[in-house]
Amino acid sequence: MKIRSPIVSVLGHVDHGKTTLLDNIRGTAIAHKEAGGITQHIGATEIPIKVIEEICKGLLEKYSIQRIIPGLLFIDTPGHEAFTTLRKRGGSLADLAILIVDINEGFKPQTYEALNILKMYKTPFVVAANKIDKIRGWKAHKNSSFLETFEKQVPKVQQSLETKIYELVGSLHEEGFNAERFDRVTDFTSQVSIVPISALTGEGIPELLTLLIGLAQQYLKDQLTIESDSPAKGTILEVKEEKGLGTTLDAIIYDGVLKQNDKIVLLTLEDVVVTRIRSLLKPKPLEEIRESKTEFKRVKEVVAASGVKIVAPGVKDVIPGSPLRVAKDENLEDIRNEIRKELEEVKIETDKAGIVIKADTLGSLEAVIKLLKEETDVPIRVADIGDVSQRDVIEAEVSKNTDEIYGVILAFNVKILPSAKTILEESGVKVFSNNVIYKLIEDYVDWMKEIKERRKKSLMESIIRPVKIRILPGFVFRSSKPAITGIEVLAGKLKPGYNLIREDGNVVGTVGSIQDKGKNIKSAKKGQKVAISIKGGIIGRNIEEGDILYSDIPEKDYKILSKQLKNELTADEQETLEEIVKIKRKVDPTYGTGYSLS
Ligand code: GDP
């Protein structure tokens, strides 16, 4: 048993300082050479605990943080795209994340995106409120702890920082997180810490690192405890062509040990591949590269947590985000099935109508599906990795025949192939494309809402709505052929063409035209007093002055109203509809049975 370094990923909006922060941490660590500097991995950089101790200058003692973990392994590629690629079954490969926000700009689209993804994977994170050196009047103190440099600022500057922090607290609150400046956090399990930093001057970085160490040791110990001689588990970060080596795999190993000659199981788009590791490579220190002209050095084995380049035959089609598992002869079949199942769990292919989703990696596909399901219950027909192809358009077109809102392709970070473009327009399939997942989903959901709204409207137009009118005594202009009389609309909206019934259920005639002050109008609403003609009505025979009449709602319209359009009716229309149902049942006791408004 050993405790490995937690894997840390940096996320945030473009230009908010992800790269600068990683560079600063690496640079500062390298400067502490005597303590061990940094350990370079493939795709990751490890900062040993001793170096962190030096950078943090006594903060670990101050906050009584033990030193159980060997260090922090930072993923070199920041951003949520790398983060979603670094998946592992049921979660993220990253044990911890830093969500970086430019304190002067606040939350931006990719900040929300990153937050959504962290939420989805339940990854613990701290917020780094970056660029505090840009606050007006700020006096920088290079590499100093935040509390020290804060103390030295004039009150106005301090106040300015506090205001900006509270804006971040507000944004996080809206997203369902309870957050505070780190030194005011009382419960690290339920509150998110905000650490003000400058990635440029290094201010606040001591606290940021201290916090990561503290959180990892306090809350992730089980997750970080591994058997260092068990077969390795990892995730493929990148599939890369390397001069003289062919296709290589950059992998992050989070459990066990990976050895040269190990048999490994990986995923391609279609299936599982089993191959044997020819060599394992690690980066050479800079000085050595200059001498030998190759960037890599061979190693016999690597133990988690570790980033390593794998040279093995037959890995050309392996997908980024693929799991990596070491198999022995006796458990090869089991592992093969397990890994295959993992692919099947994410990929979707059914014959039922639904939308098509295409994404660039397994992790992003998984994220799109999960976040879509949180927003809507729209069915999915195909979910797959890769560019949008002609086949995808055809699949979407088939779904479109069932329902227009399914004739859709959601494309995340992928291209539309030329062959797909040629048939796209004719197919009427709609492609939504965005590299921010929540925007992609939002666009689709908004579009879907619009269509549903439109449908409701036209449905509403096509059915008879509940109306109640009164024949105004003393305003009968003609008694028949057609009858013309003044009326008052008591509820709902009267339209030409509506059949009218009496309170006993008898049909008296059909509304011909509606006139207001001598002019024809299309409808009359509650409160209006107008003149109408009633075809088939004879005043004094089947209609009397002062009578209350209702619209005659066919049973099929009542069913639609009670099932789909209930919420579209005003309160007085609902009330009138109930009265109409009672009247209709006097004539036909089975009218609308099984349907109700409540
Ligand atoms: P990324 O897109 O998130 O990786 O952002 P970068 O690290 O590339 O930073 C974007 C810009 O902001 C660069 O010009 C950086 O020099 C600048 N920058 C990053 N952090 C800071 C900071 O703390 N203070 C100041 N003043 N500039 C910063």
User: Hey, where are the domains in the chain?
Assistant: 2-226, 233-343, 352-452, 468-587
Tens digit of pLDDT for each residue in 181-232?
999 999 998 999 999 999 999 999 999 999 999 999 988 989 999 988 999 9
Q: Which of the following CATH numbers is that of domain 468-587: 2.30.30.30, 1.10.645.10, 2.40.30.10, 1.10.10.10? A: 2.40.30.10
Cross-strand bridge partners of residue 246: 242
What pLDDT was estimated at residue 350?
A: 85
In this predicted structure, the answer to whether residue 430 has a pLDDT above a threshold of 70 is yes
User: pTM here?
Assistant: 0.82
Q: How far is the CA of 453 from the centre of ligand 1 (A)?
A: 44
Of 20, 22, 110, the one to substitute when testing ligand 1's pocket (max ligand atoms within 8 A of C-beta) is 20
8 Å CB contact between 486 and 529:
yes
How far CA 474 is from CA of 471, 479, 531, 539, 548, in Å, comes to 9, 12, 12, 12, 15
Model confidence at 290, in pLDDT bands (50, 70, 90)?
low
Distance CA 465, CA 111 (A): 47
Q: How far is the CA of 200 from the centre of ligand 1 (A)?
A: 7
Across residues 397-421, what is the average pLDDT?
A: 95
If you take atom 24 of ligand 1, which residue's CA is the nearest one? 131
Across residues 84-107, what is the average pLDDT?
A: 92
Distance CA 58, CA 38 (A): 20
* Structure tokens, 292: 């030998």
Q: How far is the CA of 23 from the centre of ligand 1 (A)?
A: 10
Instruction: Give 183's DSSP letter.
Output: G
Same fold for the pair 352-452 and 468-587: no
8 Å CB contact between 165 and 138:
no
Give the containing element (helix H, strand E) for 457. helix 437-462
Q: Is the CB of 18 under 6 A from ligand 1?
A: yes
Across residues 234-244, what is the average pLDDT?
A: 92
User: For a pLDDT cut of 90, what percent of the chain falls above it?
Assistant: 81
* Structure tokens, 536: 């088939």
Across residues 339-352, what is the average pLDDT?
A: 86
Is residue 173 among the annotated active site residues? no
Instruction: Give 246's DSSP letter.
Output: E
Q: Is the CB of 151 under 6 A from ligand 1?
A: no
What pLDDT was estimated at residue 346?
A: 84
Q: How far is the CA of 240 from the centre of ligand 1 (A)?
A: 28
Across residues 238-244, what is the average pLDDT?
A: 91
What pLDDT was estimated at residue 589?
A: 93
Starting from the edge strand earliest in sequence, which strands make up the sheet with 7-12, in order?
A: 39-40, 44-48, 71-75, 7-12, 96-102, 125-130, 191-196, 178-181
Q: How far is the CA of 140 from the centre of ligand 1 (A)?
A: 16
Model confidence at 101, in pLDDT bands (50, 70, 90)?
very high
If you take atom 20 of ligand 1, which residue's CA is the nearest one? 17
Across residues 547-557, what is the average pLDDT?
A: 95
Low-confidence winner among 37-51, 219-233, 234-248, 279-293 (lowest mean pLDDT): 279-293
Across residues 408-423, what is the average pLDDT?
A: 96
Measured at the alpha carbon of residue 289, what is the angle toward residues 284 and 292, in degrees to the nearest 5?
Answer: 115
In this predicted structure, the answer to whether residue 73 has a pLDDT above a threshold of 90 is yes
Q: Is the CB of 80 under 6 A from ligand 1?
A: no
CATH topology of domain 2-226: Rossmann fold (3.40.50)
Low-confidence winner among 39-43, 304-308, 419-423 (lowest mean pLDDT): 39-43
User: 3-state class of 149 per DSSP?
Assistant: helix
Which of ligand 1's atoms lies nearest the C-alpha of 22? 7
Q: How far is the CA of 486 from the centre of ligand 1 (A)?
A: 75
Q: Is the CB of 17 under 6 A from ligand 1?
A: yes
Model confidence at 598, in pLDDT bands (50, 70, 90)?
confident
Distance CA 559, CA 568 (A): 14
Q: Is the CB of 19 under 6 A from ligand 1?
A: yes
418: Cβ contacts below 8 Å, ≥ 6 apart: none
What pLDDT was estimated at residue 269?
A: 85
8 Å CB contact between 71 and 49:
yes
What pLDDT was estimated at residue 293?
A: 67
Residue 308: CB atoms within 10 A of its CB come to 25
Instruction: Give 405's DSSP letter.
Output: G
8 Å CB contact between 269 and 318:
no
Measured at the alpha carbon of residue 190, what is the angle toward residues 1 and 365, in degrees to the nearest 5?
Answer: 70
In this predicted structure, the answer to whether residue 153 has a pLDDT above a threshold of 70 is yes
Annotated catalytic residue within 41, 80, 141, 173? 80
If you take atom 18 of ligand 1, which residue's CA is the nearest one? 17
In this predicted structure, the answer to whether residue 23 has a pLDDT above a threshold of 90 is yes
Which of ligand 1's atoms lies nearest the C-alpha of 20? 7
If you take atom 2 of ligand 1, which residue's CA is the nearest one? 15
Model confidence at 460, in pLDDT bands (50, 70, 90)?
confident
Which of ligand 1's atoms lies nearest the C-alpha of 197? 23
In this predicted structure, the answer to whether residue 287 has a pLDDT above a threshold of 70 is no
Q: How far is the CA of 239 from the centre of ligand 1 (A)?
A: 29
Predicted-complex ipTM score? 0.99
Which of ligand 1's atoms lies nearest the C-alpha of 134? 26
CATH 1.10.10.10 fits 352-452, yes or no: no
8 Å CB contact between 169 and 101:
no
Helices (H) and strands (E) in the chain, counts: 17, 36
Q: Is the CB of 12 under 6 A from ligand 1?
A: yes
Could you give the count of Cα atoms lying within 13 Å of 424 in the half-sphere of its Cβ? 15
Model confidence at 369, in pLDDT bands (50, 70, 90)?
very high
Tens digit of pLDDT for each residue in 485-518?
999 999 999 999 999 999 999 999 999 999 999 9
User: For a pLDDT cut of 70, what percent of the chain falls above it?
Assistant: 99
Annotated binding site for GTP: 12-19, 76-80, 130-133
Q: Is the CB of 104 under 6 A from ligand 1?
A: no
Could you give the count of Cα atoms lying within 13 Å of 48 in the half-sphere of its Cβ? 13
If you take atom 6 of ligand 1, which residue's CA is the nearest one? 17
> What string of DSSP letters covers 524-570?
EETT-EEEEEEET--BTTTB-TT-EEEE---HHHHHHHHHTSGGGS-
The pLDDT mean for the chain works out to 93
Burial 367-398 (b: 16+ CB within 10 A, else e): bbbebbeeeeebebbbbbbeebbbebbebbbb
What pLDDT was estimated at residue 261?
A: 96
What pLDDT was estimated at residue 563?
A: 87
Give the containing element (helix H, strand E) for 299. strand 296-299
What pLDDT was estimated at residue 211?
A: 96
Across residues 395-407, what is the average pLDDT?
A: 94
Q: How far is the CA of 529 from the centre of ligand 1 (A)?
A: 69
What pLDDT was estimated at residue 294?
A: 74
Q: Is the CB of 24 under 6 A from ligand 1?
A: no
Q: Is the CB of 199 under 6 A from ligand 1?
A: yes
Annotated binding site: 12-19, 76-80, 130-133
In this predicted structure, the answer to whether residue 580 has a pLDDT above a threshold of 90 is yes
Could you give the count of Cα atoms lying within 13 Å of 192 in the half-sphere of its Cβ? 31
Across residues 526-533, what is the average pLDDT?
A: 96
Q: Is the CB of 16 under 6 A from ligand 1?
A: yes
Q: Is the CB of 15 under 6 A from ligand 1?
A: yes
Model confidence at 596, in pLDDT bands (50, 70, 90)?
confident
Domain 233-343, CATH: 2.40.30.10
In this predicted structure, the answer to whether residue 567 has a pLDDT above a threshold of 90 is no
